[in-house]
Structures are given as C-alpha cells and as structure tokens.
Structure 1
Amino acid sequence: MDMEQENQNLQEEEVETETSAEANETVTDQRSREELLAEVARLSAEAEDNKTRYLRSQADFDNFRRRSRQEKDEFAAYANVKLIEELLPVLDTFEMALKSTGESDAQTVLTGVEMVYRQLMVALEKEGLAAIEAVGQPFDPNLHDGIMQVESADHPANTVVQELRKGYKVKDKVVRPSMVQVSQ
C-alpha cells in the first residue's frame, strides 16, 4: 500500500509541474512582441554601455601604465642629481688644491687634501653612507670579506684583527664589505 501511495504522490507532482510549466508558457506568450523588442533593445543598450565602460577603463589603465613607466624612467635618469649637487663643492676644493700645488709646500697640499676628504665624507654621509666597523669585531661574512687568517694572542678566535680595505653600507645595505684579516 505504501508503494501505491508513493506512486500516486509522484504522479500528482508531475501533473503539478506540467501545469506550472504550461502556465509560464502562457505568461511568456502573453508578452507582446513590442515588449520583447523593447526588452532586447534595453539589454542591447546595457551591453553597449558596459562595453564602452570596459574600453574606457582599459584605456585609463594603459595611460596609467605609460605614465608610471615615464615617471620611473625620469626618476632613474635624475636620481643622482642630489648627490652630484653635494659633491660639486668637493670638486671645487680639489680644483683649488690642484691650482695651488705649484706655489705651496707639502703641508698646504696635505691640508687641502684633508679638507677635500672631509667634504666628501660629509656629502656621502648625508646620503646615508656609513663605514663598517671591523677591527676588534667578531667576523661576519655579511659585513667582512676575510682574505686571510692570522695567529693572534691578543684577539679571540674568529675576530677581525686588521682591516685592509674599509667597507661601507648605505642605510642597512652593504655596498662594499670590509677586506679583513681574521684571528684563528
């Protein structure tokens, strides 16, 4: 009996589904041709508007990319201008020292060279350059380039004993590691 009841329920559901589908067709059929054409025209206009907005957005993005590339190229071309402006007084002092070498003694030339060195260091320090401290520090392969090991009774093992060439960093980036001798 339960099986019969289930079959009857399924048949009733099928009849209801067919009836609602026929009702939907009737509603669709009841829409006039003019209403359907108006709907198609509205959807076509909406699609055209979306296409136009898409093309404008694409053009804006292409312009943004082009401007960004131009700004990047310009920045790269003129990035060193500030540093060069800082170094021009150093160049002037060098020229004055070179002009005076024929008329002065060695001490005057040495004083001029020391002035040039100080001016150069001040200009580079303004740009973030800093010397890497090496002698007496533990050896760090990120900061030091160890070229030889020496025996040292004064320093613990793996300590920088002598700096052969000064190392520099700009902010936190190592520009050139210090060339050092390290104790064994």
Structure 2
Amino acid sequence: MAEKDVQDQVNQTPEENSGVDINTDDNQSIGDSELEKLKAELDASKDKYVRLVAEFDNFRRRSAKERIETIQTAGREVIKDMLDVLDDSDRAQKQLDKSDDKQVQEGVSLVFNKLRNTLHSKGLKPMETIGKDFDADLHEAITEIPAPTEELKGKVVDEVVKGYYLNDKIIRHAKVVVGK
C-alpha cells in the first residue's frame, strides 16, 4: 500500500500535492518584491566593497608616501647639526685661500669638499639667494640697507647665514640682508 500512496503523490500536480491553492499572480508580486530587496542588498554590498577597496588603496598609497618621506628625512637632525660644521668649513676655507701654504690649502680643501659631497649625496642643497627677490618663506631678513642700484631694491644684497634644502624641503632658512 505504501507504493500506491507514493505513486498517487507523484501523479498529482504540485497544487494538489500541497493541498494549498496557489495563485501565480500573488507569487509573482511576492517574488518581485523579494528580488528587488535582494538586488538592493546586493547593490549596497557592492558599494560597500568598492568603498572598502578604495579606502584600503588610499591607505596603502599614504603609507608608502609616509615611508618614503621618513627614509628621505631619517638623518634630518644629524644633517641639521652638521650645517654649523659646514658653515665653519666655508669660513675656514676662505681664510685658507688667503694663506701661502698650498699643501695645507689642498689638503683641507679635499676634506671640506668630501664633507660637502657627502651631505649633497644625502639630499642637502644650498639655497641660491644673492640677487634673488626677497621671499619670506625662504629667507629671514636680518636687516635692510639702501640698495646699491635700483635693480637691487627688494632683492637679497648679502647672505649672512646660508640656507639649505633637504630633499627639496627647507631645513634652514637663509639669513639675508635686503636692499630697500
């Protein structure tokens, strides 16, 4: 008898088998609203995913940029402290150029040039200031003097302390005399 019950159920249509009268129009509207809801959830999930990927990409770029800046300016404090030594070297070389002892001049010049070249290889560049327009972002005006010529008004006439860049960022402002 069990076989006959199974056979009868197989031969019945789905509506007869469930014992529920199914209206296809209602099912269609229920299915459409669920489909719309699922599409909205899918769109929201896609949007969230795209935003998350973009945010991570921005984070990765920012971290890489910060890492590069850190590497470039890692020795900033040491180089900044070496600027006083470099200034003293320039003053000493000017005095040595006045002396008659050529061997001492050459030896000391080699040492000073090696110091300059080493600092230059680490990204240190001197500012060119004399004869340029005064720029408060780059220069620190020590004093103003009457300009020797009309074209030097508002320009740097003399440099008291040299300014420097480290990897294109100002590490020390130039202390200058400005013509007025």
TM-score (norm 2): 0.43
TM-score (norm 1): 0.42
Higher RCO (Cα < 8 Å, 6 or more apart): 2
